[in-house]
Structure 1
């Protein structure tokens, strides 16, 4: 069956798939162009149902990948036909690197759009692509004068990259400063042919040196680093370059991040910074269309997780990971966040990130807002699997679903991110770090405990061990002591608490009570 005006009839099987796709007209036009660019190229798709599904899905979702298919039809179709096999990096030259990157990007997108990979796997695949590009760029600039490691920040370091994320990096190096700077810029020049590369998260931003030694980073963290810079270190991981130097840098960064408790002033600083970001979004009038920084958006989830990491991570090493969903699961299992809240945030995060991916796949642009024109919004909704129904058009259903998600996320974020217990933990965290000192018994006596030695032994029982309950109790002890000191009989109060915490189930329940309502716990 031919379409009007076509020089060559298109296969009926592909036309039927096009008509059921998210963008029938666009797919038909693209198929015709492919047929003209490489006569006979579509025959393989007719014989391979999986290939046909991948091809039509990509054509419906992405104009940029459609252009790649039209420019390199045989190479692109070969990748789609074998999309389960990751392409080996080819980086003999910068041009080879760009060519390989484009085909691997196509493979990742096709597996995503056809449902073969989960959101977590897609983010990890894109991060692996970013790492490979940086490693190849490092290899293409290798010399005998410099040693450089590349640190991935943000979603690259977190192994959860977007289709159009900036690649945020830091450089750590050894060697002549001028040569280090020259090589780092050469690495970025090559990598920027594949991704946007940003090194402005480095100490002092654009005004600071592009490459520092490990010792220089440590001096900066000691004297000048702001709370948001320590928050950024949560996702910092070596991604390319000299392995030993990268691991040396990571060890130093982890020590500075976790050695000192996150105090109340730092907590307030992060909250104020987020409030300023939200005010900027509000001034732009984007409302619910802004999926990343708007109320109930991706940042609400990420910042909630990261703040809990900063407050609790210095005592709980399991909270020191870089990936948002992994950390959310850890926090739920440990009782730092309600299981139901964690489940809702995880499912919301996956849906919001998937919409973000679909927006960015269209033209490989860094887009986080829903389109305003009806045609683009309708196409997005259909790529997301919505179809017109009696209860509403595809676009109306998507908008309604997103508003529900944003409302849910915002409610949890406000309840957890501004939870009073976080203030209490942060305000007393420095005291918690010193509870095991020789002055413990003196301090307990000052709190009003009559038998300070027995009290110290009881506290040891409550906090002994490496399980989650013990770690959480270590953080809660300063609060407990403060509250017990106000009671008529602090010794008896501590005895009763110890009896309540005789098993892991009871410990978990008490921890949840403290987490949700400090006032109730105090009473």
Structure 2
């Protein structure tokens, strides 16, 4: 061949789709000689394959081993095309034909039609010489023969699939035949197993042949196998049911029957999945059986039913939705399915129905590597699992009362749901089309190497092969784009199928959309988590009825918003709060525009409303706060300087103290709401939350004090100094939602008559309390940490404090001063009080008796102050390992060492804890455990308040509330147990550290 001819030949190969041109040309020349076929003919035939290079290379390898098998097939046009299609789409089949080149001759006529279920069962039983349920031989050679014959059948199915003019339309038929082939393979493997376990059977026989023959083993297909929608290479989920005739039961007993059945099941699985000369077919997975991996591999029918009646969880019934006898004793299999099917459909009425369905969906995604998510055909967003989950949930919701939609297969179920009016025809048709396309892609990526995978290829050359193998696109980039479009549509259709029809019961929709009755919508709302479906329907009707622009926009928004509410902590309250908010805002243009056009505002709104009654009630009073959700900057807590400036401006605008304080209270509510919304959306840390709440409280007290002082203190007594000292968590800048503001009041006459000064100070305190009171969002100014507690004067002069601390101070009062910090009033007086407090709280030396007294008081607090009937472990403040343990330990160390360790002179518990660690006073490990428990207790306490709108120091026992708290703390859904375990573990570790350091 001349240089120009060679160049022209290579160009022709490139045009035909070859990539490795030089190698392809060499292989064509080699095959021309070995097969006696023309080069151009070979090139043209190979060019029709998905991967011409791979097909040509595979054929050359086979020809080197057995050219005759190839040439024998040449006379059959269909078989010849099937060979090229298989070799070009599947390196797995290329390897199979290389191992068994004689199998090529069985491709004669392949591709014309699919093998029938009966044909495959007969063929595979013949491969092991099965007669009356027993194989001719029980050795490994029978398994090898079975596997080779199975792959012969699989090749015929794949040839039909690959040569189809519209493979996407053949997905259902192909998947059904793959499931039939799996059942036939299990039947043949069971025949080998019967021979093997019989006495004299291949060295493993243990039981008399007549006992084995009389023992029944039904193999129940689950999942895709049961639904006849199997992949080329997929785990085959099964459940084994054992039994025997009545005479055998009486003769040998149930235990012996189960023993024989179990050994049959083990050998059946080994014949399919065990390591042999011929590679395994697929994994036989029996983990859906009662008790999963921990349960018995085989049970009798009575044992199965006893388990399902007494111990089974809802998801186990739902797993049985697709159960179908596929091999073994058909009568026993049918009896099993007939007995369990009613339990499947009544499971939807169980209280934990939604949780169980969602958990069943999540079980398969829990260990999904993050790097795989963008390539996941099955488990990723918009993937196969989304389609199957949606259809299954619709079936379980409405199948409770409608037997006509109780179908095993996904596509059959979709057709039934349309026929019975549960979803619209257009949406169902699009969903079915997308499902077939996703399954086609899955089939082709599994065919490539005949291995189990659900990942789209990432390399351009593999994507190009996939495009050619599916016929969905011309290029790899185009097939990827097609897939991305399908994923987006699947997610959108999921919303339309499940949520939009809810509007049909309450809103003015087109005839095509009017697919659910009120009763059906009620059931669907209950299924997705609404506790009061009737109430939810009323709210939806109110929001979407009418011809106004607002109602029109709400009708478009409501389907997806219902889904978001359903995913939230309290869907019912969230929807109610949204209705109230919408009514308050009316037709406000910015609100409707934000919900319609903002990328995340509507979803964030559903999240905060369903996650917190605290937020919902405040938003009803401050509806304009919804606008913050469209701008992250507006959600950020405002600085103390900005709030101070606003508070001062308020007081200059209002002539009366009542008007001024009304505005100050509004400022406080607004900023608390801003902080709560930011915390719910994860926009701020727990430290930022505490700082924001502290700042808001300080500004409120400062503004109130300024207003009150103008009313109470006349000009002639203006020399009076008065200050508010923050104590406790307020002083430590560690406030959470629901925390009281612990304070002390100090004054200095400064030229005012002492008695007059005392009277004015008491008036200031009284008015400060009165005007800071907020019935909607209480601000409790708690002065119980003052000297002598509730029995002492509510306000003292600086000199009185000095005298008291010098003469009568108790150890707990010095301890209380450790978190004293001036926050309002005279700056000079605050400095003087701080200097006095430093002398008391940071003493040069501490009386050991005082330390013993603190320990004694701590023990008494634990015994006496815990509420009756409350589990101490659940009390976040006073319980073991709670806030009190950490704070008392830190304060004890401060009293002992702060005089000599400057870092301990802080009102912050966490700062003091770290200072103690750095000074070597607390081991690092203990400090970490104490800090973890303190932070978690603080977060749990705030979350409890935000969730319920009520203050409590006790972690709830109600699982729904615990789950809600977990969601606020960014745990995944249904994490009630994990929240509880995390707290119990953290508090237990902190308590051990506390006891060793505090009492030791």
- TM-score normalised to the size of structure 1? 0.76
Q: How does 1:264-303 map to 2 (within 5 A)?
A: 265-272=352-359, 274=361, 281=368, 284-303=370-389
Residues 127, 160 of structure 1: 8 Å contact kept:
yes
The answer to whether the aligner puts 1:16 opposite 2:56 as a matched pair is no
Does structure 2 conserve the Cα–Cα contact (< 8 Å) formed by 1:152 and 1:236?
yes
Q: Which residue of 2 aligns with 1:25?
A: 53
Contact 2:114/2:157 (<8 A) preserved: no
Q: Structure 1: how far apart are the matches of 2:389 and 2:150?
A: 31
The structural deviation recorded for 1:279 is 6.7
- Aligned-pair CA distance for 1:125: 0.8
Native 8 Å contact 1:55 1:80 kept in 2: no
**Corresponding residue for residue 153 of structure 1:** 222
Task: Please state if 1:351 is matched with 2:432.
Answer: no
Q: Establish whether residue 235 from structure 1 lines up as the match of residue 322 from structure 2.
A: yes
Contact 1:287–1:294 (Cα < 8 Å) also in 2: yes
- Aligned residue for 1:285, secondary structure, equals helix
The whole-number CA distance in structure 2 between the counterparts of 1:82 and 1:113 is 11
Instruction: Determine the C-alpha separation between the residues in 2 that align with 1:170 and 1:403.
Output: 36
Distance 1:316 1:516, change over 3 A: farther
Ranges in structure 1 where 5+ consecutive residues have no aligned partner: 389-393, 425-468, 488-513
Map 1:204-215 onto structure 2 (within 5 A): 204-215=291-302
> Which residue, 69, 80, 96 being the options, matches 2:145?
96
Offset, 1:316: 1.0
> What secondary structure sits across from 1:81 in the alignment?
coil
Which of 293, 300, 310 aligns to 2:396? It is 310
Q: Counterpart in 2 of 1:226?
A: 313
1:341-396 Cα shifts (integer Å, max 9, x gaps)? 111110011110001000001111111011222222222222122565xxxxx111
2:745 matched to which residue of 1? none
The residue matched to 2:450 in structure 1 has which SS? coil
How far does the alpha carbon of each residue in 1:236-289 deviate from its partner, in whole angstroms, 9 at most, with x for none? 1111111111111111111211245434631133235545755754x6133431
Counterpart CA distance in 1 for 2:398 and 2:518 is 11
Question: Which residues of 2 match residues 109-128 of structure 1 at below 5 A?
Answer: 109-115=158-164, 118-128=170-180
CA distance in 1, matches of 2:415, 2:445: 27
Match of residue 64 from structure 1: 92
For residues 347 and 470 of structure 2, the distance between their equivalents in structure 1, rounded to whole angstroms, comes to 44
234-243 or 407-416, which deviates more: 407-416
| In structure 1, distance between residues paired with 2:96 and 2:45 | 20
Greater shift in the superposed pair: 368-377 or 352-361: 368-377
Q: Distance in 2 between matches of 1:324 and 1:191?
A: 27
Over 3 Å counting, the alpha-carbon distance change for 1:295 and 1:82 in structure 2 is closer
Q: 1:181 aligns with which of 259, 262, 272?
A: 262
Contact in 1 for aligned 2:114/2:160 (Cα 8 Å): no
Tell me, yes or no, if structure 1 residue 3 matches structure 2 residue 31: no
- Who is 1:391 aligned against? none
Do the aligned partners of residues 171 and 471 (structure 1) sit closer, same or farther apart at CA in structure 2, a change above 3 Å counting?
farther
Change (3 A) 1:364 1:155: same
Greater Rg by CA: 2
- Structure 1 residues 395-435: Cα deviation after superposition (integer angstroms, max 9, x where no partner): 1100100000000001122444567959x9xxxxxxxxxxx
The secondary structure found in structure 1 opposite 2:190 is: helix
Matches within 5 A, 1:363-442: 363-385=449-471, 388=474, 394-417=475-498, 421=502
Q: Is the 8 A contact 1:80 1:110 kept in 2?
A: no
| Larger displacement relative to structure 2 (176-185 or 102-111) | 176-185
CA shift, 1:321, in A, is 1.3
Match of 1:163 among 223, 232, 249: 232
Contact 2:226 2:325 in 1 (8 A): yes
Instruction: State how far apart, in whole Å, the 2-side matches of 1:115 and 1:219 are.
Output: 48
Which residue of 1 is the match for residue 418 of structure 2? Answer: 332
1:22 and 1:15 map into 2 onto residues whose CA distance is 13
Unpaired runs of 5+ in structure 2?
1-24, 130-141, 195-211, 244-253, 274-279, 506-513, 526-531, 539-557, 563-574, 576-1000
Measured in 1, the distance between the counterparts of 2:259 and 2:477 equals: 56
Structure 1 pair 475/81, CA: closer, same or farther in 2 (3 Å)? closer
Going from structure 1 to structure 2, the CA distance change for 1:278 and 1:260 (only over 3 Å counts) comes to closer
Measure the CA separation in 2 of the matches of 1:21 and 1:476: 50
C-alpha deviation, 1:107, in angstroms: 0.8
Compared with structure 1, are the counterparts of its residues 395 and 224 closer, same or farther at alpha carbon in structure 2 (3 Å cutoff)? same
Aligned pair count reads 442
Distance 1:361-1:80 versus aligned 2 partners, 3 A rule = farther
- Distance in 1 (CA, whole Å) between partners of 2:63 and 2:379 is 42
Cα distance between partner residues in 2 of 1:482 and 1:324:
27
Distance 2:57 2:175 in 1: 30
Residue 473 (structure 1) shift: 7.1
Contact 1:14 1:46 in 2 (8 A): no
Q: Structure 1 residues 46 and 336, CA, compared in 2 at 3 Å: closer, same or farther?
A: same
Pick closer, same or farther for the CA change 1:209–1:278 going to 2, 3 Å: closer
CA drift of 1:472 comes to: 6.2
For 1:239, what is the secondary structure of its paired residue? strand
Q: Match for residue 456 of structure 1? A: none
CA distance, structure 2, for counterparts of residue 180 and residue 45 of structure 1: 44
2:283 pairs with 196, 200, 215, which one?
A: 196
User: Per the alignment, do residues 261 and 22 of structure 1 end up closer, same or farther by CA in structure 2, a change over 3 Å counting?
Assistant: closer
Q: The residue matched to 2:400 in structure 1 has which SS?
A: coil
